[in-house]
Structure 1
Amino acid sequence: MKTLTKDVYSPSQIESIDPCKSKLDKIGFTFVDLFAGIGGFRIALEELGGKCLGYSEIDKAAIEVYEKNFINNSNSADIRLGDIRNIDKFPFQVDVVVGGVPCQPWSVAGKLKGFDDPRGELWFDTLRVVRINQPKIFIFENVKGLIEPINKKHFEHLVRSFQSIGYFVKWQLLNSYDFGLPQNRERVFIVGIRKDLENAQEFSFPEPLEIKPKLYSFIDGVKDCSNFNKSKIEPQILYGDKKIPRSRNRFQKDDELNDFFVFCDTRDGHTTIHSWDIIRTSEREKLICYTILKNRRKKKYGSKDGNPLSFEDLAELIPDLKQEELDKLIRKNILRYVKNQGYEFVNSKNSAGINGIYRIFLPHSDIIPTLTATGNKDYIAKISIEGCENPEEYKDKFIKEIYQTKIFKPISAKDAGKLQGFPDWFIMAKNESSAKKQFGNAVPVPVVYHLMKSLLTQVDFGQKYDS
């Protein structure tokens, strides 16, 4: 088995290892893989010398991939434990229990039902399995929503429950980007250390790695941007008299052009592409569209977060407006008329994008947004854009050189695997859609690797590990 010798591995993932070949001469610890999915936890823990004694998963497609990679054609003696709701006492003693507990009940993409969702109740089964089997350590992963204010009482109850059965519990948000992956993926990791272990209270989470991953190192078929230099631009040029949006994340600099373009008619920004930018329209037609964009959220036109505007409303805002002008924009499929209400954009839902595209990221970008099981409409440009002095030039160059020439690609299942840190040897599902869904559900391998390494080097639980 090929082991890691450094914290900064090859740009795309942990160095290749083969779980079907011989393990390390000395097994450092044993573990059980709950909610195993396709094995993200297992790859990381085996790389650190762990031996899996059993795994629990109910999704048949995930089990097929998991067993193809870790069980078939090997000497593995793992026990398939089945549905966690039926698990009681393990037929063995185990050091570590890990798992990515289903996140939909706590996710903003779900309905935020928490423990009222049957999948949220699986936390109680997880608690029961830990209480009965008393592993020395547990690591559980979940979405950021679990610790949001709306779920504060639920989360605090969860922590107290684990504490009450004999564990010191610590938790922290960890971002995949900080551990070598160009993905802005924040997940909460909950670590429990049995109170009788030496140094149990001394554990601290791993610090971010001193590497700055970029998309081009992980995505097949895009230009190498290692020599790319970003220009500095005055914020006033980017935003004019507007305030800098609060929604900007840590990867968006206020004095740099964005590394992505958003296709959206209902918002505006220096890298927003509207339908009237990519459909042939006159300056007058653009004026009408921008007028609707700037006024559609004003309370005087309705209580919704985006209201249709009547002809009368628009006529007050646009001098000499003619009905034919609006009809022409309807024929171009930019506007539509809502009976008894007025005119609105055809592309009225932000995340729906335009023509099936929501965002296109340039290959020199630090990140891609969080991969999800449901997928998204994000694409990656095959080339970057340099030498632009202002947003207008930047947008025009993007439309002409990337969008119109179709020099961009969707995120493939193989790309998704790399963005989650899965190694090259991993055998993914044959169906592209299924594989992308499974990777979107998976835990990022390098994050688990560095978290578990921190536990092994800081907590004495009867095992030997040379840091």
Structure 2
Amino acid sequence: MKSVNSQMTKQKELPLQLLISRKQFTFIDLFAGIGGFRIALEKLGGQCLGYSEIDKQAVKVYQQNFISYLNKHEIELGDITKIRELPSNIDVVVGGVPCQPWSVAGCLKGFEDPRGKLWFDVIRLVSKSQPKAFIFENVSGLASPKNRDNLELILQEFEHIGYCVKWKVLNAYDFGLPQNRDRVFIVGIRNDIESCHQYQFPSPLNIHPKVLDILDEFKNITVVEKVKLDPHTLFKGMIPPSRTRFQKDDELNDFFIFSDLRNGHTTIHSWDIIKTSDREKMICLTLLKHRRSKKYGDKDGNPLSFENFRELIPDIEINELNILVDKGIFRWTDNRKYEFVNSKNMTGINDIYRIILPTADIVPTLTATGSKDYIATVSIHASHPEEYKNLFLEKIYKPKKYIPITAKHACKLQGFPANFAYHQKDEVAKKQFGNAVPIPVVEYVAKELLSIVDI
């Protein structure tokens, strides 16, 4: 993929009219962010006529990478709610419509969230400008059962204004990026275009680089073939139903999760980190096992009283529970029951939720809100879960052989060019990349569109 800066350098060598004549189609970039859609469409021959974005920091990054004296005629459209009309003769309108209303992080408020209502501004502008086609992207939550009626409403509105519309959830992993990133893509083609019903979403590329293949710090790490294990060894005979397509049932996981609320073969508990006896570990596992029992309450995780513990461990002494309080593993509730100090999954332990091995196939979805995910700087290999966990603690966790996911990593994990000029503040840049679209997915979605629509 050509970098933005190299493209702009070449553009400066060409007269403006010659540059425009080489463009194959025109597009408008709504909710432009830092330009993920633009990079993909320019690579395919698109010319941007205008962009809309209200985040001032994102606009600065966008302009730094794309706006020069050659395209100073390009319109900065500003707030979509205040745009009365789009430039004329547009071939394609694209955009990553704000996703928070449809995501778990945004509390799934949908159209109740003002950002959810921005879909109606999109529909209004598409209706008025009547481009030949459009491509919009959103979180997979828009297609969840809870939001399916909202998705259907959006699709129907596009159909009512004269478009044949299709949608599909696509994952960045299937298009050459080692990131588990599901996103809904909505493609519409104007009904008067003969091929409007022929669009098909792109098929997976079957190209799967590992994390270490695209991040420079890990290129010297050797990948060793994993040992195959039976479900009894890995899961004590019961495979958890929550496992994803990236977790194999006959291999050790490529990541370790720090949580006192789970107990998988790569779960690190606070009692694995804090010095505890086998007896204390057994008491902790007892709370972990029974805290969700309806016998002790209706919450999804209930504290247990000393009397509850005595039913489960008849010879337990209250002093044993209080020692675990002193160690910072248990705490008292208001009614003097015991619960874990680390009582929320995503908060992790000691500000770490997940450490991913560099030999992993993927990293979790990059988000705008950030995460407590890290990447190990060394790899480990084992033939048994217990050995694997011990090696992790000794070789990675204790010597701190792990690093946070940086903006430089996020840039590559989203498919942006290596010399893309992102924000100088790492946290701001990571947020912007977390909001961005995975460029290869957009490229292949758009390429299929261009193959059937004469624009």
Question: Could you state the TM-score of these two structures normalised by the residue count of structure 1?
Answer: 0.93
Aligned partner (choices 26, 42, 45) of residue 38 of structure 2: 42
Query: Paired residues, what number?
Result: 446
Q: Distance in 2 between matches of 1:220 and 1:285?
A: 42
- Aligned partner of residue 201 in structure 1, secondary structure: coil
Spell out the pairing of 1:52-63 with structure 2 (5 A cutoff). 52-63=48-59
Aligned partner (choices 193, 209, 214) of residue 210 of structure 2: 214
Deviation of 1:341 after TM superposition, in Å, equals 4.3
Q: Conserved in 2, the CA contact under 8 Å of 1:167 and 1:192?
A: yes
Aligned partner (choices 71, 76, 82) of residue 78 of structure 2: 82
Deviation of 1:254 after TM superposition, in Å, equals 0.3
Q: Conserved in 2, the CA contact under 8 Å of 1:180 and 1:209?
A: yes
Q: Conserved in 2, the CA contact under 8 Å of 1:58 and 1:83?
A: yes
| 1:27-56 Cα distance to aligned partner (Å, 9 max, x none) | 110000000000000000001110000000
Aligned twin of 1:20: 8
Q: Conserved in 1, the CA contact under 8 Å of 2:223 and 2:359?
A: no
Spell out the pairing of 1:261-340 with structure 2 (5 A cutoff). 261-340=256-335
Q: Conserved in 2, the CA contact under 8 Å of 1:233 and 1:256?
A: yes
Q: Distance in 1 between matches of 2:87 and 2:345?
A: 51
Deviation of 1:373 after TM superposition, in Å, equals 0.3
Percent of aligned pairs with the same residue? 60
Deviation of 1:73 after TM superposition, in Å, equals 5.6
Spell out the pairing of 1:231-242 with structure 2 (5 A cutoff). 231-241=227-237
Spell out the pairing of 1:218-233 with structure 2 (5 A cutoff). 218-222=214-218, 224-225=220-221, 227-233=223-229
Give 2:173's aligned amino acid. Y
| 1:286-324 Cα distance to aligned partner (Å, 9 max, x none) | 111111111111111111111111111112212421222
Q: Distance in 2 between matches of 1:460 and 1:303?
A: 56
- Aligned partner of residue 393 in structure 2, secondary structure: helix
| 1:124-153 Cα distance to aligned partner (Å, 9 max, x none) | 000000000000010000011111111122
Deviation of 1:228 after TM superposition, in Å, equals 2.2
Q: Conserved in 2, the CA contact under 8 Å of 1:223 and 1:383?
A: no
Spell out the pairing of 1:158-169 with structure 2 (5 A cutoff). 158-169=154-165
Aligned twin of 1:460: 453
Q: Conserved in 2, the CA contact under 8 Å of 1:27 and 1:50?
A: yes
Deviation of 1:390 after TM superposition, in Å, equals 1.0
Q: Distance in 1 between matches of 2:266 and 2:234?
A: 10
Deviation of 1:425 after TM superposition, in Å, equals 2.0
Q: Distance in 2 between matches of 1:225 and 1:205?
A: 36
| 1:332-390 Cα distance to aligned partner (Å, 9 max, x none) | 1111111324111111111110000001010111111111000011111111111x121
Aligned partner (choices 375, 379, 383) of residue 384 of structure 1: 379
- Aligned partner of residue 88 in structure 1, secondary structure: coil
Aligned twin of 1:420: 414
Give 1:205's aligned amino acid. F
- Aligned partner of residue 110 in structure 1, secondary structure: coil
Which moves more between the two structures, 316-325 or 162-171?
316-325
Are 1:252 and 2:247 counterparts?
Answer: yes
Aligned twin of 1:200: 196
Q: 1:55 to 1:190 in 2, by over 3 A?
A: same
Give 1:16's aligned amino acid. S
Q: Conserved in 1, the CA contact under 8 Å of 2:50 and 2:87?
A: no
Give 2:423's aligned amino acid. A
| 1:240-293 Cα distance to aligned partner (Å, 9 max, x none) | 13x211110001000000000000001111000000011111111111111111
Spell out the pairing of 1:70-109 with structure 2 (5 A cutoff). 70-72=66-68, 74-109=70-105
Q: Distance in 1 between matches of 2:367 and 2:75?
A: 29
